[in-house]
Structure 1
Amino acid sequence: MRILPLRRSQLVGSNGPGSLVVSPEGETAIVGALDYWFQNSSGKEVTSRAEFEIHEPRLKGFLGVNKLYSPPDFRDVSSDIANSKLYIPLLRFPKWHYCSFCSMMREFNYTIENTRSYCNECNKQQYFKQVPFIVICSNGHISDFPWHEWVHENEGSTCRGRLKLITMGGATLDSWVVKCSCNSKRSLKGITSNASEKRGSSVLGERLNSHSSEYKCRGHKAWCGDEYEECHESPVAILRNSINVYMPQKVSVISIPGEKNMEVDRILNTLEKNIVIKGLLSTTENIDEKIEILLNSLGTLINAEREDYEKAILYLDGSIVENGNTIQTGSPALLRSKEFEKLQQNCSEPYLKVLEEWIKDEDADSQSNIYAPYFEKINRVTKLRETTALSGFKRLSRTDEEGQYSYSASYDSLYHKKLPNNQKWLPASTVYGEGIFIKFDLKEIEEWEKRGEVRDYFKQYMKRISGMNHSIPEIISNPRNIMLHTLSHLLIEEIANTSGYNMASIRERMYLQTNQASLLIYTSAGDMDGTFGGLVRMGKKSSFFELVDKAVANARWCSSDPVCSELGFLQGQGLNGVNGAACYNCSHLPETSCEIGNMYLDRTFLIDSKIGFFNNVF
């Protein structure tokens, strides 16, 4: 496949292993497995990856992997330079093409760069286009459409005659016909439908064979070349540029200091910027030897005890030292609970700066502010660092309904070779930014949830979505979580209108565990200096409550009302009908902004005259 430019941040998201990327000419290629990411054009593995390593022990411990690496950048320089000419592997996919003049089909290999080739039908050089259809399954497999099997209505067919893909110019798949030189022909009607009378099946699986047996996925892992594994899922044909061909699963953390003393922080901060020392540390696994390397390299710069250097090594290796004990960091609840604790107080560290802006009990003017009773604390986060790792991907169905709260514990789909998780690495990226931390008054929320009207409406809501044939995530366990999620969306929309950031660059991070009712609304960028402060200024007391007032006021009326409100109450709307009074005109955000895919939203919990959390305001 030809060389295509890809951003490193895309490789930790929509262009991860197993995804399809599109060239300017419209050709597609599949991104290869992680096994081959640190190889040059001749297939030689790099000797050291230290400069690409990202040190975020909490995230490594949670994911249970050995290392986190930033995707390699391409350096078109002499091979004598370290890590030069590193390519992310791309394989041409789909392999089936058809002649742009006579429609004769031909299968190319994964590595061919140019599809201008000799056509036997035309008797001259012609340009061959990729076919528009591929096959995927819910287990993540992806393969070429079974053209020979489909036209002969038999997956066991041995005929390998010449095929033609002909279109009659219609707007439906009925107008697409595949013909074989043996005179067999068949239209592509219904191949992209995954709805069938049989549960767990698809139209392609049921109709490919003329006899009664069902066609099953072949288990092809095209991003690993001709790699197959056993699979019993029913495959679905799909356009190769469809959005649900590849949906990345990502896990992110906010870097938090304080789990180590100031001297350890200084050591780690220096190491983060020193590629040479990181390279030396990667040459040995012995902790005493690593300590000696640090003492020899940093001893004159940082006057710290040997114990501090040892703590820094333990931290880099994926452990955190607290009160003299080494603890592992793999608890999902711990991942966000520690962030929640740290964001509540003043902090001034290299990667996290928090300023307490407003505290309810300490503000003499709280009584005059109609919104003050609903909040407990507002903090401005003037600097933060977020690290995101790609933990896997899905096909066909949406990402997990729990969004950032759920992830796959097995990363085999990203790899070609079989390795235990603790010997694998995952691609990650680090960005810097700013935000507003909002802590709500838990007593006010609990009193609101005790209202009979709120309980009755929530019971009706849960009864409705439980019949939608999908699993209900644990995060939607009480009315407060839906209310806070909806308010978060409304605040982001209002911030985008006034702060100067576009909506897609602002994100939410919800803290909704037991005894937590908080939001972090933030933005971030790849530059180490972070962003420009437009969002964090909105967190000032003089601006924040006005911001809330506008957001809540906007929630009272949607441009699609009364349809939006009535649909939300009667049957729900959005994916699987899980949203109440919430649609694209009032509450939906770009996919980059929402943690749960614009699901579980309902303005009713905010502004309804009987059950709304803010109904006393009006």
Structure 2
Amino acid sequence: MAVRQEFRKSQGVVPFGVGAIIDFPEEALMSAGLDMWPSEQAVGETRVALLNACQVVDSRLAARLTQELGRKIRYFLTPAQAPERHAFGAQVKPDTAYMPFVRFPNWYFCPRCRVLKQIPWNSQSAADSMKCSNFGRRVDGSGEPCGNLKKNRRPSMSPVRFVAACEAGHIMDFPWDRWAHKANPSCLASVGDLYLYSTPAAGLAGIRVGCVKCGNSNSMAGAFRQDVLSDIYNGACPGHRPWLGPDGKETNCNHTPQTIQRGASNAYFAKVVSSILIPPYSAKIQQLLDRPDVWGEIEVSPLFDGKLHEPWLRKKAENLGVDPEAFIGAIYERLETPQGNTLKVEEKSEEKYRHDEYKAFLGPRPPKSERQDFDTSQHAAGEYGQDFAGLFDNVVLVRKLRETRVLTGFSRLMPAEASNAPPASLSLEPKEWLPGFSVRGEGIFLTLNQLAVSEWLKKSAVLQRTALLQERLSNLAQQRGTPTRVLTPQSVLVHSLSHLLIRQMAFESGYDSSSIRERLYVSSAADNPMAGLLLYTASGDAEGTLGGLVRQGLPGRLELTMRAAMHNAAICSSDPLCIESNGQGLFSLNLASCHACGLLPETSCEEGNLLLDRVMAIGSQNDSTVGYFSKLLT
């Protein structure tokens, strides 16, 4: 019998996306690949109902991912909503379904007798196999064997803590048999011969796996050394991909597996791409035509005298709730361009992709009828006072926005961006869709004064501090064999400002800091210079549109928040160690920024809480002019 386990729909994309291990009560499961998703398994009307209910359309993001991934991406799908609890025999709605999982890790142990047992990848949660049926003696030699107990008294097996994984995303069970028999590889142990037990020794040395058949045992001390599994796997990764089922094994992986804990933070790094829906893509008609079901129906509609049947299109427009003339005009525009897409997105880097958003925030406000997903109101920097105007160019209150987040792959041990291994695949065969979800929220968009930034860049101390971080970035990239990122003082400044503002906004806006996200817009290119940031809320629940963030951006409030943020940044409980630091945090990629003054929850930061320096914002005790916002401290 299957057991119903629940989580939010958006969590099915990240953090519990394809390939992630999720701890449920008494068991650990892995989110299954796209081949097993309900929309892939369903047929006929049920499939259509699921696609209509779960489909997310963002043609701008789809075009970008088509170029990056080298295959056509048409749309995105959210995890299906679970069927409502109903009486036995009641009809289940066709647009609801349960999401698929596989069992991983497959090794479980009994908390009573400590025996190790393998459980099949597709076993049900309430199956008899989840109960201990060991007829052998307990590891301490006391008590009655679990197998002699009545079924309702037998303890449930618990998943083991340790697994093995490589940078390419492969993951496999820890080799318990081989590890226990390191000293006696010739032992032919069978089911029920291996035990996982604890001893009085401290740490990993107190966890041992032993064989009752030959008497050998081995502690977990040393199991986490980087190359300790190389001999067991003959120097190569087995290439297991349990999220893709029994046929998911991949060959020719050159990475060496390492032991990790199944719940460790490095067991899963989701590769997520996000995008803000901007005009003209946010227009209602364009969103309707981007839907594969709508456009597909138009493409196959019969022609009359070589033209579309306009009466049918008018009826279609009325059913969709849009102006018929505008609807027909948009269709003809698409048909006159290659591949039926007037809003063609040329190949762009991440920098240029964000520049489109940058221009949209600074552009005119959309017509009233087109503000359901993008609505802005601009304020001149002068409205916030003279000091503020000398530091900023624009303040844009984003009353409505829609963000799409898409899972394109994942890695293990380290983020995909920091590894030379390609991200792990989400399916056996490439799909024309990816898992994603769309959330709505509000935000504040700020741009720095370009003239003031140019003057600030002339300070030698600013360049020296940036060069220190750049050197460490370059050394790290060289060690990992990845491209070197070019760091600019503007990016450190904008990023540090973002963190300081979010920390202050959490006190004043009504949002928790983990609910406020940053999106950075920085470029030193001559044709599209940028120095701006978007602070926004886009949560999967009602907290995304409280209105508190926009309210804090109004004249008379934002300047006070800005001053308070800088005054709080000037005082850190770890000073003077923090403000005088030449490197702290992961790989020493932060300067004057620590948990007490500058770091944010993981969900808020784009850069993994790295490349921060509050001295760039407020200056130091020795030189206050290094700080771009130092005048706000007076």
TM-score, normalization by structure 2: 0.83
Q: 1:259-408 maps to which residues of 2 (within 5 A)?
A: 265-268=283-286, 279=293, 281-282=295-296, 286=300, 294-298=313-317, 302-304=323-325, 306-311=328-333, 319-321=341-343, 326-328=344-346, 331-348=349-366, 349-360=371-382, 366=385, 369-398=386-415, 400=417
Check conservation: 2:171, 2:240, Cα contact below 8 A.
yes
User: Does residue 261 of structure 2 align to residue 242 of structure 1?
Assistant: no
Equivalent residue, structure 1, for 2:57: 55
2:202 aligned partner: 171
Of the structure 1 ranges 486-495 and 297-306, higher mean CA displacement relative to structure 2 is found in 297-306
Over residues 570-594 of structure 1, what are the superposed CA-to-partner deviations in whole Å (9 max), with x where a residue is unaligned? xx11111100010000000001100
Aligned ranges 1:449-488 → 2 under 5 Å: 449-468=457-476, 469=479, 476-488=486-498
Among 248, 251, 272, which residue is 2:273 paired with? 251
Kindly indicate whether the alpha-carbon contact (under 8 Å) linking 1:149 and 1:155 is maintained by their aligned counterparts in 2.
Answer: no
Against the structure 1 CA distance between its residues 471 and 439, is the aligned structure 2 distance closer, same or farther, given a 3 Å change threshold?
farther
Deviates most, 532-541 or 446-455: 446-455
AA aligned opposite 1:153: K
Residue in 1 that maps onto 2:216: 184
Paired residues of 1:466 and 1:472 also in contact (CA < 8 A): no
Sort the Cα spacing of 1:187 and 1:528 in 2 relative to 1 into closer, same or farther, 3 A: closer
In 2, Cα distance between the equivalents of 1:52 and 1:312? 25
CA deviations 1:378-434 (Å, max 9, x no partner) are: 1111111111111111211146369xxxx99x776111x223xxx431111111111
In structure 1, the partner of 2:438 is 430
Shift of 1:93: 1.3
How far apart, in 2, do the equivalents of 1:155 and 1:350 lie?
68
Match of 1:160 among 185, 189, 195: 189
Answer yes or no: is the 8 Å Cα contact 1:39–1:87 preserved in 2. no
Measured in 1, the distance between the counterparts of 2:336 and 2:90 equals 34
Whether the 8 Å CA contact 1:494–1:550 is kept in 2: the answer is: yes
Q: Determine which of 570, 573, 586 is the counterpart of 1:559.
A: 573
> 2 CA distance for matches of 1:594 and 1:155?
49
Provide Cα deviations, 1:147-199, integer angstroms capped at 9, x if missing partner.
112222299868333211121144311112211213332111121243xxxxx
Pairing 1:543-582 to 2, within 5 Å after superposition: 543-566=557-580, 568-569=581-582, 572-582=583-593
Q: How far has the Cα of 1:13 moved from its partner?
A: 0.5
Once the two structures are TM-superposed, the CA of residue 81 in structure 1 deviates from its matched residue by: 5.7
Aligned to 1:91: 102
Q: Deviations over 1:447-489 (max 9, x none)?
A: 2112223223332343345445467876652111101100110
Q: State the shift of 1:331 in Å.
A: 4.9
Q: Distance in 2 between matches of 1:541 and 1:378?
A: 10
The question of whether the paired residues in 1 share the 8 Å contact of 2:472 and 2:587 is answered with no
- 1:9 aligned counterpart, secondary structure: helix
1:116 paired with 2:131, answer: yes
Residues 172 and 291 (structure 1), Cα distance of their counterparts in 2 relative to 1, 3 Å cut: farther
Tell me, which stretches of 5 or more residues in structure 2 are unaligned? 67-72, 137-144
Instruction: Say whether 1:138 aligns with 2:157.
Output: no
The answer to whether the Cα contact below 8 Å between 2:170 and 2:240 also exists between their aligned partners in 1 is: yes
Q: Which amino acid aligns with 2:425?
A: S
In the TM superposition, residue 330 of structure 1 has moved relative to its aligned partner by 5.8
- Separation in 2, partners of 1:72, 1:449: 50
CA RMSD of aligned residues (A): 3.3
Q: Tell whether 2:4 aligns with 1:3.
A: yes
Question: Within 5 A, what are the aligned runs for 1:10-21?
Answer: 10-21=11-22
* Deviation of 1:205 (Å): 2.6
- CA 1:590–1:266 in structure 2 vs 1: closer, same or farther (change >3 Å)? closer
Q: CA deviation at 1:82?
A: 5.4
Partner of 1:198: none
Instruction: For 2:507, give the aligned amino acid.
Output: N
Structure 1 unmatched runs, 5+? 195-201
Question: What is aligned with 1:534?
Answer: 548
| Partner amino acid, structure 2, of 1:38 | P
Deviation at 1:251, TM superposition (A): 0.9
Distance 2:617 2:576 in 1: 17
Identical counterparts, % of pairs: 30
Does the CA contact (< 8 Å) of 2:410 and 2:424 recur in 1? no
Q: Secondary structure at the match of 1:354?
A: strand
Determine if contact 1:98/1:165 at 8 Å carries over to the other structure: yes
Query: What is the distance in 2 between the residues matched to 1:90 and 1:346?
Result: 46
Q: What residue in structure 1 maps to residue 425 of structure 2?
A: 413
Q: Which one-letter code corresponds to 2:176 in the other structure? A: W
The 10-residue stretch of structure 1 (145-154 or 249-258) with the greater mean CA deviation from structure 2: 145-154
Q: CA deviation at 1:271?
A: 7.4
> Structure 1 residue aligned with 2:530, among 502, 516, 520?
516
Q: Comparing 42-51 with 374-383, which one deviates more in the overlay?
A: 42-51
- 2:240 counterpart residue number: 220
Relative distance call for 1:508 and 1:91 in structure 2 (3 A) is same
Tell me the SS of whatever aligns to 1:18: coil
By how many angstroms is 1:268 displaced? 4.2
> 2:140 matched to which residue of 1?
none
Which residue does 1:73 correspond to in 2? Answer: 81
Partner of 2:376, secondary structure, is: strand
- Structure 2 counterparts to residues 435-454 of structure 1, below 5 A: 435-454=443-462
Distance 1:150 1:312, change over 3 A: same
The one of 500, 505, 521 equivalent to 1:495 is: 505
Residues 137 and 335 of structure 1: is their aligned pair in 2 closer, same or farther, counting only changes over 3 Å? Answer: same
8 A Cα contact 2:473 2:484, kept in partner: no
Matched residue SS, 1:427:
strand
8 Å contact from structure 1 (residues 351, 385) kept in 2: yes
Matched AA of 1:219: G
Alignment partners' CA distance in 1, 2:288 and 2:105: 46
- How far apart are the structure 1 equivalents of 2:292 and 2:414? 41
In the TM superposition, residue 3 of structure 1 has moved relative to its aligned partner by 3.0
Q: For 2:347 and 2:544, locate their aligned partners in 1 and report how far apart those are by CA, in whole Å.
A: 27
Is residue 525 of structure 1 aligned with residue 546 of structure 2?
no
In 1: Cα distance, 2:509 partner to 2:100 partner? 40
1:488, 1:521 within 8 Å by CA — same for their partners in 2? yes
Evaluate the alpha carbon distance shift between residue 258 and residue 528 of structure 1 in structure 2; reply closer, same or farther with a 3 A threshold.
Answer: farther
CA contact (8 A) 1:53 1:68 kept: yes
**Cα distance 1:351–1:485, how it changes in 2: closer, same or farther (>3 A)?**
same
Cα displacement string for residues 503-553 of structure 1 (whole angstroms, at most 9, x for unaligned residues): 000011111123100111111233699512101011112111111111111
Structure 2 CA distance for aligned equivalents of residues 155 and 79 of structure 1: 58
Q: CA deviation at 1:327?
A: 4.7
Contact kept? 1:259, 1:320, Cα under 8 Å: no
Give 1:27's aligned amino acid.
Answer: E
Residue 79 of structure 1 and its aligned partner are, at CA, apart by 8.4
Does residue 584 (structure 1) correspond to residue 583 (structure 2)? The answer is: no
Maintained 8 Å contact 2:273/2:406? yes
